[in-house]
């Protein structure tokens, strides 16, 4: 019933949270990283485009992208209803893959389709047993236990700026935001951390990924940056008192802006020495 | 990092979610149940009034109530800042108690003070090791992993009606609402379940409690009822698509209205035979 402490993490699969807008034509650094995680030419990739309003086109797009990288086994799982997500045939097929890719779209659509179904359970179990799971944009948000569903843009925190709902629950320690700089989401990520500073906030830029390894270390990959919001030293916030949409105070937030090559340990909350 | 499956639950402490407004003068059925859980005359009770805007009065009130029931060891833990919640002295004192009682007030104030602190960690560990934790009103909401922070009243679900934020995380399977009938909260509990139907919604009335035992069975105690919202058969919701504050559709919700003496198994999602 309670989310227990996990002691042996080494068997878990990597999580890859991509900030959306990953390069699909040129260097393809982010997609190539996922390709390698999935097993390179031996990969068997599941694409789940259920967050998208145009799942057919989205599914075909990623199928083509992974095929161009050299993957032969790519399966698109269309989940158009909760019944689809309870279908034992689809679940059995999913259990054969080496990695799972969740597309962008609307993370609340994704979770209201998947939440509490056999498919969601299978994704959790596969990841616990070593299968890598990547999500871009909406798919990145949905990876964590507490998911940013929607919110308002703005650089500094104000009340009711962000809406949290339950995600897939593949990590219970982070809360993930995407398209971070492009859509002005610093304020809402700070609010999400103020709500309960146990969470570490990750603001992931476009064409950039935070890769969480089984030892709970984050590695930054890609063109721009990942902002890490650490509230462990927060000594004051009035988020429990402020009315309506007024500004929210927070003191002693620790922030890191990490670019390609940096790592961050979620347990010690320390940036690792950068060795270029 | 991931909330793992817990297999051996028998060592856990009971959770008691009280819908607020518990009888303090006459039969005191709900408070007496907590008194018994805490060890009756041998109880050593911690009262945490941090959710309250008047923590001194609230602390004194519950101290007097438990003293009247026959408890001699009652300690009020005042948490006025996040620094208080990091104080090793308070945490060491908390480790001596046999049961913990969280007052009403504002659950977001409570969690923005406690979240990610040594005190929150101690509450989780104490509960995992057998210490009963009760919460009334705001304190009941805060028991679960996904907490209803605030919302709008209304009988039927509409978009943006409820705000979820991270709670204490003592149960990851339920989402708890309180003052349920008196404040017209059916709509927002349905929305909370629609977000991710993995969650079981509990709408707890005043002077009524849902008591969660270590085997994940709920027992209803008190004057009114607990509404259980089971979304496991939900086959359609448009919560991911509806704009602004429009009405949200949900099909095949299973509801139970349970009164004193009923039990409900959270794992099988079955109401247990009622033996009056």
Q: Which of A196, A200, A250 to mutate to test the interface with B (most CBs of B within 10 A)?
A: A196
Query: What local confidence, expressed as pLDDT, does residue B5 receive?
Result: 42
| Share above pLDDT 70 across residues of chain A, in percent, rounded to a whole number | 95
* pLDDT for the residue numbered B9: 52
Instruction: For residue B106, give the nearest of A5, A108, A240 by CB distance.
Output: A240
Instruction: Give this prediction's pTM.
Output: 0.84
For residue B248, what is the nearest residue in chain A, using CA coordinates?
A112
Shortest Cα distance, chain A CAs vs residue B86, angstroms: 10
Task: Give the C-alpha separation, A190 to A154, whole Å.
Answer: 11
A25: DSSP letter: S
Beta bridge partners of B136: B18
- Stretch A3-25: mean pLDDT, rounded? 78
Q: What is the DSSP string of B95-158?
A: TT-SEEEE--S-HHHHHHHHTTSHHHHHHHHHHHTT-EEEEETHHHHTTBSEEEEEE---SS-B
B75 catalytic per annotation: no
Cβ separation A195–B83 shorter than 8 A: no
pLDDT tens profile A56-76: 999 999 999 999 999 999 999
Nearest to B172 among A3, A82, A167 (CB): A3
> Is A212's pLDDT higher than 80?
yes
User: Is A137 designated active site?
Assistant: yes
Name the more confident of A4 and A171. Answer: A171
At which residue do the structure tokens 């609230």 appear? B58
Name the pLDDT band for A13 (thresholds 50, 70, 90).
Answer: very high
Helix (H) or strand (E) holding A222: strand A217-222
Beta bridge partners of B208: B222
Q: Which of A144, A179, A224, A225 is catalytic?
A: A179
Q: What is the pLDDT of residue A191?
A: 95
Average pLDDT value over all residues in chain A? 93
The answer to whether B5 is a known catalytic residue is no
CB contact under 8 A, B2 and A127: yes
Tens digit of pLDDT at every position of chain B (276 positions): 344 344 445 689 999 999 999 999 999 999 999 999 999 999 999 999 999 999 999 999 999 999 999 999 999 999 999 999 999 999 999 999 999 999 999 999 999 999 999 999 999 999 999 999 999 999 999 999 999 999 999 888 888 899 999 999 999 999 999 999 888 899 999 999 999 999 999 999 999 999 999 999 999 999 998 999 999 999 899 999 888 888 888 889 898 988 899 899 999 999 987 655
The mean per-residue pLDDT over the stretch A121-143 comes to 98
Distance of CA A188 to the CA centre of its chain: 16
| Mean pLDDT of the region A185-194 | 94
Q: Mean pLDDT, to the nearest integer, of A149-173?
A: 92
Radius of gyration (C-alpha) of chain A in whole angstroms: 18
- The partner residue sitting opposite A166, judged by closest CB among B2, B196, B235, is B196
pLDDT band of A1, cuts 50, 70, 90: very low
Residue A154 pLDDT grade (very low, low, confident, very high; cuts 50, 70, 90): confident
């Amino acid at each position: 019933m309670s989310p227990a402490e996990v002691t042996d993490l080494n068997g878990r699969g990597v999580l890859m949270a991509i900030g959306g807008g990953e390069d699909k034509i040129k260097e393809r650094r982010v997609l190539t990283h996922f390709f390698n995680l999935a097993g390179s030419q031996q990969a068997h990739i599941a694409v789940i485009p259920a967050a998208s309003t145009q799942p057919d086109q989205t599914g075909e797009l990623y199928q083509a992208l992974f095929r161009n990288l050299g993957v032969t086994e790519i399966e698109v799982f269309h989940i158009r209803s909760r019944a689809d997500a309870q279908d034992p045939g689809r679940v059995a097929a999913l259990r054969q893959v080496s990695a799972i890719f969740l597309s962008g779209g609307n993370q609340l659509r994704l979770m209201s389709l998947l939440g509490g179904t056999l498919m969601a359970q299978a994704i959790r179990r596969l990841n616990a047993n070593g299968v890598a799971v990547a999500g871009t944009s909406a798919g990145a948000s949905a990876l964590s236990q507490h998911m940013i569903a929607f919110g308002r843009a703005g650089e500094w925190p104000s009340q009711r700026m962000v809406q949290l709902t339950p995600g897939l629950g593949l990590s219970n320690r982070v809360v993930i935001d995407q398209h971070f700089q492009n859509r002005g989401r610093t304020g809402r990520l700070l609010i999400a951390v103020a709500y309960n500073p146990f969470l570490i906030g990750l603001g992931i830029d476009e064409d950039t990924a935070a890769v969480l390894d089984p030892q709970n270390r984050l590695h930054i990959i890609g063109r721009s940056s990942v902002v890490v919001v650490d509230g462990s030293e927060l000594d004051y916030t009035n988020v429990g008192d402020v009315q309506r949409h007024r500004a929210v105070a927070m003191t002693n937030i620790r922030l890191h802006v990490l670019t390609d090559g940096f790592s961050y340990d979620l347990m010690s909350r320390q940036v690792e020495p950068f060795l270029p």
